[in-house]
């Protein structure tokens, strides 16, 4: 028999694939961030000039925008999704599956197509303004191409990524514990604060993490809905790789983004036991 345990043997194909499809490309990006600016080969004297260029330029503004928008997205989504997650786990009963399916479907339609749908909704003479005008004769300015709409796009695109882990978390809270708390005279608010929230925390935090990380890397919302009023960091990276043809600079920006994202992911994931979240009973 082989020297590996059965578990390690079964994990081998995935691990090998991720080694050459995930780890190796990321190492290539890291390596590329150290070669001289505007060159396309790794075999040259390494330098730190790309990092110096970032700190001397305005790229940090893009970083701040991305982090800020991602944080705002997380907060808004937490408020929108908690009641829905609670309903899915406790109230909607047999309709919960149907509602879950309705929330899953948009995940399978290309993100940019759905964002384009918002353009048709908000554009002048579009679904919203056209209706207002024909019904009430009221024709306000379109809110298209504003920072607020970028945020709306992000909230919209990442909603399922908050909702599903949150629902998983909320359904982990045993009903008996809630009943016991109510029997002992706890108010609704106390049960929420002392029972629901702490026990659902693993799912909630995974939802926070997932939406935050994905939103930090968001690009299409600002480009299509925000009319490039603000430039998120992923857009800077894309520009460096494509129009500017400066791969080393793009690689250095990617490394910084990976550091931010990776730190969050590692800190949060270290604290969780995935078996208990995904359903080993």
Tell me whether residue 42 or residue 61 sits nearer to other proteins (CB atom).
42
State yes or no: residue 137 binds other proteins (CB under 8 A).
Answer: no
Q: Which of 51, 116, 145, 192 binds other proteins (CB under 8 A)?
A: 116
Binding mask 73-112 for other proteins (x = CB under 8 A): -------x--xx-xxx--xx------x-xxxxxxxxxxxx
Q: In whole angstroms, how close is the CB of 183 to other proteins at the nearest point?
A: 15
Q: Which residues of 236-275 are buried (b: 16+ CB within 10 A; e: fewer)?
A: bbbbbbeeeebbbbbbbbbbbbbebbeebeeebeeeeeee
Given the structure tokens 């982990």, which residue do they identify? 172
**Dihedral (CA of 24, 26, 30, 36) sign:** positive
Q: What is the largest CA-CA distance in the chain?
A: 79
Q: Which of 61, 120, 143, 177 binds other proteins (CB under 8 A)?
A: 120
Q: In whole angstroms, how close is the CB of 92 to other proteins at the nearest point?
A: 7
Taking phi over 0 as left and psi of -120 to 50 as alpha, with beta for the rest, 110 belongs to beta
First-to-last alpha carbon distance for the chain, in angstroms, is 31
Q: In whole angstroms, how close is the CB of 194 to other proteins at the nearest point?
A: 19
Q: In whole angstroms, how close is the CB of 98 to other proteins at the nearest point?
A: 9
Q: Are 234 and 223 in contact (CB under 8 A)?
A: no
For the segment 159-218, give every residue that binds other proteins (CB under 8 A): 159, 209-210, 213-214, 216-218
State yes or no: residue 69 binds other proteins (CB under 8 A).
Answer: no
State yes or no: residue 45 binds other proteins (CB under 8 A).
Answer: no
Q: In whole angstroms, how close is the CB of 216 to other proteins at the nearest point?
A: 7
Q: How many CA atoms lie within 13 A of 193 on its CB side?
A: 5
Q: Quick one: which of 100, 85, 92, 81 has its CA closest to 172?
A: 85
State yes or no: residue 271 binds other proteins (CB under 8 A).
Answer: no
Q: How far apart are CA 126 and CA 43, in angstroms?
A: 54
State yes or no: residue 251 binds other proteins (CB under 8 A).
Answer: yes
Mark the segment that binds other proteins (CB under 8 A) among 20-28, 45-53, 57-65, 177-185. 20-28
Q: Which of 35, 54, 115, 200 binds other proteins (CB under 8 A)?
A: 115
């Amino acid at each position: 028999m082989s020297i590996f345990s059965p578990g390690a043997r079964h994990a081998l194909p995935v691990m090998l694939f991720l080694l050459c499809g995930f780890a190796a490309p990321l190492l290539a990006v890291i390596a590329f961030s150290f070669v001289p600016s505007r060159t396309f080969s790794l075999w040259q004297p390494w330098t730190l000039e790309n990092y110096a260029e970032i700190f001397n330029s305005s790229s940090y503004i893009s970083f701040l925008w991305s982090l800020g928008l991602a944080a705002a997205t997380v907060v808004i989504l937490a408020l929108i999704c908690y009641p829905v997650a609670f309903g899915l786990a406790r109230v909607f009963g047999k309709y919960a599956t149907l509602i879950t399916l309705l929330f899953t479907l948009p995940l399978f339609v290309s993100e940019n197509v759905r964002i384009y749908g918002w353009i048709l909704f908000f554009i002048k003479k579009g679904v919203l303004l056209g209706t207002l005008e024909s019904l009430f004769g009221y024709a306000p300015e379109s809110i298209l191409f504003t920072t607020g709409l970028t945020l709306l796009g992000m909230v919209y695109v990442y909603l399922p990524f908050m909702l599903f882990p949150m629902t998983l978390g909320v359904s982990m809270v045993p009903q008996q514990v809630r009943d016991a708390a109510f029997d002992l005279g706890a108010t609704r608010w106390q049960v929420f604060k002392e029972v629901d929230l702490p026990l659902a925390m693993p799912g909630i935090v995974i939802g926070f993490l997932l939406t935050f990380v994905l939103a930090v890397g968001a690009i299409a919302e600002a480009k299509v809905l925000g009319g490039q009023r603000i430039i998120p960091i992923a857009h800077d990276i894309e520009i460096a790789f494509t129009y500017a043809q400066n791969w080393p600079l793009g690689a250095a920006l990617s490394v910084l983004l990976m550091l931010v994202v990776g730190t969050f992911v590692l800190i949060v994931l270290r604290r969780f036991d995935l078996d208990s979240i995904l359903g080993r009973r």
